[in-house]
Amino acid sequence: MKNRFVSNILLTFVWVVLTGDFHFSNYLFGFVLSYVILMVITKGSRKAKYFTIVPKLIFFVLYFVKELVKANLEVAWEVMTPKLNMTPGIVKVPLTVQSDVGITLLANLITLTPGTLSLDVSNDKKVLYVHAMYIKDKEEFIAGIKNGFEKRILEILK
Amino acid sequence: MFFWNKINAQKVISIAGSIIAVILSSYVFYYVWENGTQKVNAGNWDAPFGIVFVADTLAVTLVLLTALSGLAVSIFSAGSVIKDRLRFGYFPIFHFLLLGLTGAFLTGDLFNLYVWFEIIIISSFVLITIGGEKAQLEGAVKYFTLNILASTIFLTAIAVLYGLTGSLNMADLAGKVAAVENRGLVEVAAILFLIGFGTKASIFPLYFWLPASYHTPPAAVSAIFGGLLTKVGVYALIRVFTLIFVGDVFLGEILMVLAILTIFSGGVGALVQNNVRKVFSYLIICHIGYMIAGLGMFTEIAITGVIFYLIHDIMVKTNLFMVSGIIFKIKSSNSMRALGGFYANYPKLSLLIFIPLFSLVGIPPLSGFWPKISLIGEGFATENYWTVAAIIFASFITLVIIAKLWAEVFWKDAKEIPEKPKFEYFSDISKARKTQFILPIVFLSLISLYIGFGAEHIQLLSSRIANELMNSQQYIDTVLNNS
Amino acid sequence: MEGNVVKESYNWVPSFGVNLGFTLDGLSLLFCLMITGIGFLVFAYTSVYLHHHKYLDRFYGYLSVFMAAMLGLVLSDNVISLFTFWELTSISSFFLIGFNNTQEASRKSALTALGITGLGGMFLLAGVIVLGNITGTFSIAEMLNMSPELIKGHEYYTVAVILLFGAAFTKSAQFPFHFWLPGAMKAPTPVSTYLHSATMVKAGIYLVMRFTPVLGGEEIWNTTLIVVGAVTMLYSAFHSLFRTDLKGVLAYSTISALGILMFLIGMGTTESFTAAAVFIIVHALYKATLFLTTGIIDHQTGTRDVTVLSGLRKVLMPVGIAAIIAAISSAGIPPTIGFLGKELTYEATMHAPIIATLLVVGIVITKILLLWAGFVAGIKPFQGSLPESLKDTKMPGPFMWVPPILLAVLSLVFGIMPFIIEGSLIKPVVSALGGESGEIHLALWHGFNTVFILSLVTIAVGTTLYFVLKPSAKLETAVGKLEAASPKSLMEKFNVGFTYLSSFWTRVFQNGYLRNYVFIIIFFLIGMVGYTMIGNTKFNIDPSILSNVSFYELVVFIIMCIAILFTVFTSSRLSAVVAMGVVGLTICLVFVFYSAPDLAMTQFSIDTLTVILFVLVLYRLPRYLKIQDHKMRIRDGILSLMFGGLIAVLALEVLSEPVNTEIGDFYAENSYIMAHGKNVVNVILVDFRGADTMIEISVLTIAAIGVFGLLKLRLKRTDRVQ
Amino acid sequence: MKTIILRTASNYLLPVLLLFSIFILLRGHYLPGGGFVGGLIAAIAFVFHSFANGLKNTKSLLRFHPGFLMPAGLALSFFSGLSPIIFAGDPFMTGLWYHGHVPVLGSVGSALFFDMGVYLVVVGVTLTIIFTISEAP
Amino acid sequence: MNIFIGVIITLGTLFVLLAAVGLIRMPDTYLRISVNTKAATLGVGLLLGGVAFYFYDLSTTSRTFVIVLFLFLTAPVGAHLIGRASYFIGNKLWDKSKMDDLQGKYQKNSHVLKSEIDDTPEDNVDHTKM
Amino acid sequence: MEILLAILVGLLYASGIYMILRRSLVKLIIGIILLGNGANLLIFLLGRITKGLPPIIPENSKVFLEAYADPVPQALILTAIVISFGLQSFAIILVKRAHKVVRTDDLDEMNATDEDS
Amino acid sequence: MTLVEYCRIVILPVLAFSVILILIRFFRGPSIADRIVALDLLITTGIGIIGVYTITSGSSTLLDTGMILALIAFLSTVALSYYLERRSKKK
Ligand code: NA
Ligand code: NA
C-alpha cells in the first residue's frame, strides 16, 4: 500500500514536470491521472487495498462533513433557543476498534463533531467514555457511533 | 563547550585564550594609539545602516583592561573555583561575559549595545547563581530583578530615541538628536538612559542590587563583577553623554547631585559593614561617584580624571575581590570580626595585599591618587564645592575603612575560628594551586603600581581619551565616512 | 649657607606639572638636620631597645621609609610630591604606632592617628590643588616668585589657607585635633621620640613655615595661627599636669610646644621667626632626650608611672644627667639653649601685633607649666630614694644611653655658644620665612630687662609648682571626668553618631526588601522624568496621529486591558498564567493588524513556550501569599499608574514628532537587490543587523547553560563552604 | 499523561510539526518565518512529544543531548558569518551569495546557513531548558 | 463569486458567534468544551474557505487548507485533554445530566481508567463524595 | 488607534511594576514578563504603526511597489522578544530554585544577604 | 458594498463581539478548566479574525500567523491540562 502511494506521488511529479505547469490544479490532475493509471496497471490481490481505500476515504470524509454540519446545526439550535432542552451525560461506548490509531481517530472525530466529546479511553482499550449533549436513549446513542464512525474506520483500517 | 567534562582542558584553554586576548587587545590598542580611531562595518553595511564597531582610544583601552582582568581572574578561577562549578560551564560563561564586555565597549550602535548588555547580564546571572547556594539565590533574585528593570528602561530609552530620530547608530544619533526640536523629549530620553545605565553603574538611588549580591558568588566571579560590570555602565554613561546628549546643564547638575549622594551612600555603607567583600562592594559604589562627578563637571580635565580613575578602579577592584577570595581560602571566613593574624602569619602576602588596598585609598603615589588631582581641581574650577567636599570625604572614609580593615584582618591576633570540617584550606592545597591564587594578585598589583608610578603614561592616555570624547566630531566623521 | 639653594629635579608626571623637585634651602636644612641627626641616634638606640624583638627588621624598615618620606617632605619643591611624602609619613606612622599590632589599644591609637592625619592629608591635597589653581603651578619655587598680591587677592585665597591649616593643625596636633598624639604614645618609645616629638609632628610647622612667604601676612593667616597656637599651648600644657604616665606628660608638653611654634609663626615678625627657629631646635633636643631617657627607664624598669619612679640616679646615673640637662633646657634655665629660646619667645610675644599683654600672660603660664612637665619627666624619676622594687635596675648598653647624653650636651653647647647655629641655621630659616635675617643676633645674655624678669618669674613659679604639685593618679582620674567635654570624646561621640547615621542611612536604603528597591527606583524615575516633562514638553499631542479606531481594534484593546487587569488581580497563579496567554494573543493580534507577521508568530510561539515553562515549574511553587495590606497596595497602585501614565504620555509626545524612516527605507530598497531576501525583517535579522542576532543566540545559549547548571548542579556538602 | 489518544496524536503530530518548522525556517528569507520561529516550533514539537510519551522516550528519539545543538548552531552561524572573511576577504557577516536560483529556497547564501544556525540554537536551548526542568526534582 | 464568498464567510462567522454564545450559556465545563469545537470546525473552516476563494491562488489556498487541517488535527486532542483534566479536578456535570458512566472509573493516584468499576472504591475518583 | 496602544503600553508598564512590587516570587516573574511586553509594544508603537502592509517584497517584484511598515522596529522587537525569553526562562528557574532552597515564596523573607554579617 | 467593506463593517465586528462573549466566560470561570477552554476558543476565533483581516487588508502573508496559531495553540491547552492532572494527582 505504501509503495503504491509513493509511486502515485512520484508519477504526479513526473507529470507536473513534464507539463511544466506548477499550479495546484495540475498537481491534482496529475495525481488523479497517475492514480487511474496505477489502478489499471496493477494486478493481483495487493491491488485491492490501495485502490479501494481511496474512494472509501473520500466517502468517509463526506460522511464526516455531513455529520459535522448536522451536529453543528443541532447545537446551534440548542444555543439559540432560550430554553436548554439537552439531556447530557457521559456514556460508556464499548469499542470494537483495537488499534491505537483507530481508537484515536474515532475519538477525535467524535470530539470534532459538536455536541459530543470523547473524554477518555479506558486503559484496557475496551471502552470509550463520551460526553454528549443529547442522550435520548443510551443504546441508540452507542449504536449511532458504532454504526457510523466506527464502522467506517474499521473498513478503512482493515 | 565541546570540552564540557574535561575540566583541566577547560582551564588550559581558558588561560591560553585569555593570554591571546591580552595579546590581541594590546595589538589593537597599539594600532589605534598609532593610527587613530578605527571602525569595522559588520556585514559590510555602511553606518548608519549596518552595525558598526568603533575602536577609539577609550574603547581599546577598556578592552585591554578587560583582557588583563580577564587573564588574572581566569588564572584565579583555575585555582579557586571548585570542580562542580567548572563542570557546569563556568569557563565558557566567564568568557562570554568578557566577550560581552568587549563588545559593549566596541559597538557603535545603540541597540547592539543593548544586546551586548544582555549577554553581559545573562552571563552574570549564570555566574552569580552557579552553585545555587542559599545566599547566592537570594542575592540573585534581587540582582536579576533590578538589572532586568534597568534593561527595560534602557530599551524604553532606545524606543524613544528611535521614535524621535529613526536611527540607532550613535554617531548618526549625535547629529539627529541635536536636530530634534522638542528638547524636552531629548532630555527625557537622556534621563531614561541615565537611569538605565545608572542602575548598572550602581549610582544613587539605583545601586541596591550590588550590595545585595556581590558578596554571594565565588570570589573569582565577584572579582570580575567588581572590576568590570559597574564600569560598563559608567562607560555607557560616558559614551552617551559625550556623544549623543552633549553639554546639557540640567543633566550635569543632576549627575553632580547623584554623584555626591552615591559617594556618601557608598562610603557610609562600607563603614558599617563587617564582611570584607561587602566593604569592597560598597566601596565600588562610593568610587563610582567620583566618575559620575567628573562626568557631571564635563570639562576635558574632569573627563581625564574620570578615565584615569576608571582605569585604576578596574584593576584595583578586580584585585581586591581576588584578595577577599584568598582571605576566605585561608581562614574560611570573610568576617572582619572573625579574621585576624594575617600579618603575623603571611607577612609577604600581607605586603602584597597592601598594594591594592592602599592603591584604592589613593595614598600617593599609588594609582588611586592621580585622578583626584584632576577631579578636585576641576571641582574648584567649575565651582562645584560640594562635589569637592564629597570627593574629599570619600577619600578620607576610604582611608579610614581600609585602615580599619587592615587593623582587623591583618594586625589583630588570629582568632580561633572553629575549623570547618572538610574545608579545603589554603594551607592544604598544592603549590601549583597556591600559585594560581597568588600570581593574578601579583600581576594586577604590578599593573596598579605601574599606573601609580607611571602615572605620566596613564595621564597622557587619559587626556587623549578625554580629548577624543570632548571633540566627538572626529568619532562621528570616522563612523559616517565624512571627510 | 644663607640664601644658597640647592636644586635637583626629575620630571615625574609632567602632564600634571608634578616633578620630584628637591630644593635645599635654610628651612629644609634645619629640618633635614633634625631628621637625619635624631634619626641616626634613634636608629642606634633602637638596636638595643628592641634588641630581641621578632620584628626588628620590620621596624627598621618602617623607620627607614619614614625617614625617607620625611626628608622628601621637607625637600620637595613640588606641592604634589610634598603631599605624596606627607601621606607616606602618615602611613609609616600608622605602621609604627601600630607596631605592637596584636594589642587592641595599639591598633586603636594607630587608627585614630591615621584618621586625624589622614583627614589633614585630604585637606592638604585639596589645599595644594587650590594653590595650583590659584598660581597655575605646583612648584613652590615658582609660587614664591609670584607676586604675593596675586595670590592673596585671589578669591580662593581663604579656601587655600583654611585647607592648608587643616592639614598643618592635624599633623601638628593643634587643638582640637591634638588628641591623637597622646594616643600615639602606644608606639615604641623610639617612635615617640622620632616621629611624635622631633620630626613628623613638625611637618605641620614646616608646612606653615614653608607657605608663610606665599600666603602669610594676611590677618586671617596670623590671627588663626596665634589663636590656635595659643589655645593649644595653654590647653595641653595644663593637661600635662594630670598625667602620671611619663610619656603622657611628654606628649602633652609636646603638643604645647607645637602650639607655641604655631603661635610664634603666626606673629609674623622677624623676632618671632627667630624665636620659632630657635625653639624648634630647643624642643627637638630636650624633648628627644627626655623621650629617650623615658624609654630607658621604661625598658629597664618596666614602668613609666611617674608616681612610682624615684631615685633612679643611683642606678642610671648617666641617663639621669642627660635627663636633668634636658629638663633644665626645657625649663629655660641658663646656660642651656632652652633659656635662649624662652627669652626670644617672650621678646617676640611682647611685640605681638595684637593683644600683646594677654598673649604674654598666656605664654608665661604655658612656660611655667612646661617647666613643671620637664621637671617631672627629667628630674622626678631620678630624685629622692630608690624604691625596693627598682633596686635591680641595670644600666642599658651604650647604644642606648649615649644618644640622650649627646643630645643633652648639644642643648648645653648651643646654649653656651649660640653663634654655632646662628649663621648656619637660624638666619637661613628666618630668611626663608621672609624675615630680616640681618637683624638677628643670638646671645645667652640679653641684659636685665622685662623679658629677663618674666624668665625669673617663670622659673620661680614653675619650680615652686613642681615642689607643690606632684603627679598623682587621683588628679588624673579627677580630670578624666572632664574628658566628656574634651575634643577627643566629642570626636568619639561624633564618630559614634556618624556610625549610627551610616547604619541608619544604609538600612533605610539597603533594607533587604526588593520591593522597596524597585519602589525607590521607579519613584526616582517618575520624579526625574516627570519633572523634565512638566518643565519642558509641549503636550501638543497631534490629533491627526490618532487614526480612526475600528470596532475590532477597540475590542482588542478592551480584551487586553481586561486580561492584564485579570492577570494582576486574580488570586490564582494558574489563572494569571492563562490570562497572560490572553494578553499574548492580543499582542499577537496587534502585530498582525499592524503588518508584523514575523513578530506575531514569534510572540505567539514564545508565549506558548512560556506557558509550558510555567506549567512545568508552577506546581512546585507555592500558592500566592494571602497578604493583604491595603495601604501598601494603594501606594504601589498609585506609583504604578503614575509610571504607566508617564510612559503613555511620553509615547504620545514622541508620536507627534516628525518621523524619519531613512534607515528602514534603505533596508527596504536593498533587501532584495543586495541581500537577496524579500522578507525585510528577516533580512535585517540575518544580514543587515546580523551581529545582533549572533549575540542574541549566544544569550539564549548562556541562559540554557545557566538553567542547566541551576537545576542540575548540587554542591556537595564539602564544596558548599568553599 | 498516559492517554492513548494523546500518545497516538503525538506520533502523527511530531513529524507534521517538524516538517512545518523546517518549512518555516527555509522560507524565512522571503516570507514570514525564519530560524527563530522555526526553531521554536521544532522545540515545541518535541516538548509535545514528551508530554505524551514521557521524557525518556523523547530523549531516546533524539539520541543525543539537545545541549549539543547549541554549540553546533552557534558554530554554524559563526562560521557562516566568518566565511566572507575566509573566502572573500570581506568584513564579518558580509553576505556571500551563490548566484543562481535553487528550487524552493530561492537564492542560497551565507545568510541561510546563518539562519539554520539560529534554528539549531533555538531548538537546543529550548529543549535543554525544558528537559532540564522536567527532570529536576 | 463575491456573493458566494460573502455567504460562506457570514455562515462561518455565525457559527463562531454561536460557539461564543454557547460558551456563555452552557451550564457545565464539558458542555462548553463540546460547543467549542463548533468554532474550530465549521466556523473557522468556512471563514477560511472564503479567504481561499477570495484570493484564489495556490499559496493562499494551501495555507488556508493547512490551517484547517491543523485545527482538525489538534482541536480534538486539546478538547480530550481538558475534558479529562476537568474530571480530575472535580468539575461536576450539570445537574440535569442523565448519566455519568465515568463515575468511579478513574483511580485517584494512578489515573488509570478502568472499563468497569472494580473493588478499589477508596481509590476511585467519585464526584458524589467530593 | 495610537492613543489606545499608548494606553495599553502604559497599562503594561504599570501592571508590570505593580506585580514586581508585590511580595510573591511568581508575581515577580509575571511582572517582568508584562513589563517586557510593554517595552516591545512601545518600540512597535514609536516605530510608527502601519495597517496591513507587511514589509515583505511582493512575489514578482524586486522592490516595494506600495507603502510598507518600517521593518526596523520589528527586527528590534524580534531580537528583544527572544532575549527576554531567554531571561524569563532563567528567571522562572531561578525562582523555582530560590523557592526550593530558601523555602519561601515571600520576597520579604529573602533579605539575609542585605543584612550585616 | 464591496466584500472588503462588508468584512470590515459587518464580519469583523461580529467576530469581535464573539470575542467579548468569550472573554465574559473567561472572566466568569468558574473553574480553571473553563478559562482554558475560553482561551482555546479565543485563539480559534483569533484565527478566524486573522483570516477575515487578510481580506480587508489584502495581504495574504498575514495568514502565516494563522498557521502557527492553528498548529501550536493547543500546546498551551495540553500543558495546562498536564498541570491540572499532575496537581490533582498530588492531592
Ligand atoms: Na465535539
Ligand atoms: Na538582528
Which of B305, B313, B257, B300 shows the shortest CA–CA distance to C129?
A: B305
Q: Is the model's pLDDT at E130 over the cut of 50? A: no
C-alpha cell at F83: 532575549
Under the banding of pLDDT at 50, 70 and 90, the label for residue F43 is very high
Cell 454557547 -> residue? E22
Tell whether F15 is covered by a domain: yes
Chains contacting C (3 or more CB pairs within 8 Å): B, D, F, G
Task: List the CATH number of the domain containing F82.
Answer: 1.10.287.3510
The pLDDT tens digits for B138-178 are 888 889 999 999 999 999 999 999 999 999 999 999 999 98
d(CA C520, CA C541): 30
C-alpha cell at B103: 563588545
User: DSSP 3-state assignment of C512?
Assistant: coil
Could you give the angle at which helices C79-97 and C104-135 cross, rounded to 10 degrees? 180
Q: Cis check for the bond before C396: say yes or no (omega within 30 of 0).
A: no
Tell whether F94 is covered by a domain: yes
What are the extents of the domains in chain C? 1-215, 219-471, 474-511, 513-659, 662-722
Tell whether the torsion through CA atoms of C399, C402, C408 and C410 is positive or negative: negative
Which of C264, C258, C263, C142 shows the shortest CA–CA distance to C203?
A: C258
Angstrom distances, CA of residue C419 to CA of C305, C345, C423, C431, C442: 39, 18, 7, 17, 7
DSSP string, B411-466: ISPPP-PPPPTT---GGGS-HHHHHHHHHHHHHHHHHHHHHHHTHHHHHHHHHHHH
User: DSSP 3-state assignment of C376?
Assistant: helix
Tell whether F20 is covered by a domain: yes
**pLDDT of res. C123:** 92
Q: Cis check for the bond before C353: say yes or no (omega within 30 of 0).
A: no
Ligand nearest to the CA of E40: 1
The pLDDT tens digits for C592-617 are 999 899 999 999 999 999 999 888 88
User: DSSP 3-state assignment of F1?
Assistant: coil
The pLDDT tens digits for G19-32 are 999 999 998 878 88
Residues paired with residue A128 on neighbouring β-strands, in sequence order: A93, A121
Tell me whether residues A104 and D2 touch, CB distance under 8 A: no
**pLDDT of res. D96:** 65
d(CA C242, CA C240): 5
Are the C-beta atoms of G60 and E61 separated by less than 8 Å?
Answer: no
d(CA B265, CA B284): 11
**pLDDT of res. C23:** 84
Give residues 351 to 390 of B whose Cβ lies within 8 Å of D.
none
pTM: 0.91
Chains contacting D (3 or more CB pairs within 8 Å): A, B, C, E, F, G
Q: Residue C363 — φ and ψ, nearest 5°?
A: -70, -35
Tell whether F60 is covered by a domain: no
Q: Which domain holds residue F88?
A: 2-52+68-108
Tell whether F116 is covered by a domain: no
Are the C-beta atoms of D7 and D52 separated by less than 8 Å?
Answer: yes
Tell me whether residues A121 and D7 touch, CB distance under 8 A: no
**pLDDT of res. E127:** 67
The pLDDT tens digits for C172-224 are 888 888 888 888 888 888 888 888 888 888 899 999 999 988 888 888 888 89
Are the C-beta atoms of D29 and C677 separated by less than 8 Å?
Answer: yes
Under the banding of pLDDT at 50, 70 and 90, the label for residue F117 is very low
Tell me whether residues B43 and D91 touch, CB distance under 8 A: yes
**pLDDT of res. B235:** 95
**CA of B474, closest CA in chain C: separation in Å?**
22
Q: Is the model's pLDDT at B1 over the cut of 60? A: no
Q: Which amino acid is at A121?
A: V
Indicate the Cα dihedral angle C139, C144, C147, C150, nearest 10°. Answer: 50
Ligand nearest to the CA of E39: 1
**Mutation for F interface: C505, C554, C562, C564, most F CBs within 10 A:** C564
The pLDDT tens digits for A97-153 are 888 888 998 999 888 888 888 988 888 888 889 998 888 888 888 888 888 888 888
Q: Residue C622 — φ and ψ, nearest 5°?
A: -75, 165
C-alpha cell at B286: 562610593
DSSP at B338: T
CA triple D26-D32-D35, angle to 5 deg: 45
Q: Which domain holds residue A146?
A: 49-157
Q: Which residues contact C196 (CB under 8 A, 6 or more apart)?
A: C181, C184, C185, C187, C251, C254
Tell whether F12 is covered by a domain: yes
**pLDDT of res. C183:** 83
d(CA B412, CA B339): 8
C-alpha C685 to ligand 2 mean position (Å): 3
Q: Is the model's pLDDT at E120 over the cut of 80? A: no
E52 contacts chain A (CB < 8 A): no
Q: Does residue C234 or residue A18 have the better pLDDT?
A: C234
- Stretches in chain C below the pLDDT threshold 50: 1-2
Q: Is the model's pLDDT at D43 over the cut of 50? A: yes
CA atoms within 13 A on the CB side of C171: 36
**pLDDT of res. C538:** 64
How many other CB atoms sit within 10 Å of the CB of residue A154?
16
d(CA B380, CA B395): 17
- Note residues around ion ligand 1 (Cβ under 5 angstroms): A 111, 114, 116-117; E 34, 37
Angstrom distances, CA of residue B384 to CA of B293, B375, C235: 9, 10, 37
d(CA B184, CA B190): 10
Q: Is the model's pLDDT at D88 over the cut of 70? A: no
Ligand nearest to the CA of A115: 1
ipTM of predicted complex: 0.92
Q: Which amino acid is at B469?
A: L
The residue in chain E having the minimum alpha-carbon distance to the alpha carbon of residue D31 is E59
Helices (H), chain F: 2-20, 25-46, 71-102
Chains contacting E (3 or more CB pairs within 8 Å): A, D, G
The pLDDT tens digits for B428-451 are 788 888 888 899 999 999 999 999
DSSP string, C698-709: HHHHHHHHHHHH
CA atoms within 13 A on the CB side of E24: 17
d(CA C202, CA C195): 9
Query: With 0-12 CB in 10 A as exposed, 13-18 as middle and 19+ as buried, what is B151?
Result: buried
β-strand pairing of C18-24 with D97-102: unpaired
Do residues A32 and A56 share a domain?
no
**CA of E120, closest CA in chain A: separation in Å?**
16
d(CA B195, CA B189): 10
Do residues A146 and A87 share a domain?
yes
d(CA E3, CA B155): 49
Under the banding of pLDDT at 50, 70 and 90, the label for residue B302 is very high
Do residues A20 and A56 share a domain?
no
Residues of C in contact with G69 (CB under 8 A): 588, 604
Q: Is the model's pLDDT at A3 over the cut of 80? A: no
Angstrom distances, CA of residue C206 to CA of C165, C250, C414, C643: 12, 21, 22, 60
**pLDDT of res. B257:** 94
**pLDDT of res. B398:** 92
d(CA A129, CA D63): 37
How many other CB atoms sit within 10 Å of the CB of residue C543?
8
Tell me whether residues E17 and G17 touch, CB distance under 8 A: yes
**CA of B2, closest CA in chain D: separation in Å?**
8
Tell whether F63 is covered by a domain: no
G8-12 mean pLDDT: 89
C-alpha cell at F102: 530558601
C-alpha B93 to ligand 2 mean position (Å): 22
DSSP string, B278-321: HHHHHHHHHHHHHHHHHHHH--HHHHHHHHHHHHHHHHHHHHHH
B115-124, B235-244, C668-677, F37-46: range with lowest mean pLDDT: C668-677
d(CA B304, CA B294): 8
Q: Is the model's pLDDT at E129 over the cut of 50? A: no
How many other CB atoms sit within 10 Å of the CB of residue C445?
11
Could you give the angle at which helices C202-215 and C26-49 cross, rounded to 10 degrees? 170
How many other CB atoms sit within 10 Å of the CB of residue C547?
12
**Number of structural domains found in chain F:** 1
Q: Which residues contact B374 (CB under 8 A, 6 or more apart)?
A: B294, B301, B302, B304, B305, B308
**pLDDT of res. B150:** 94
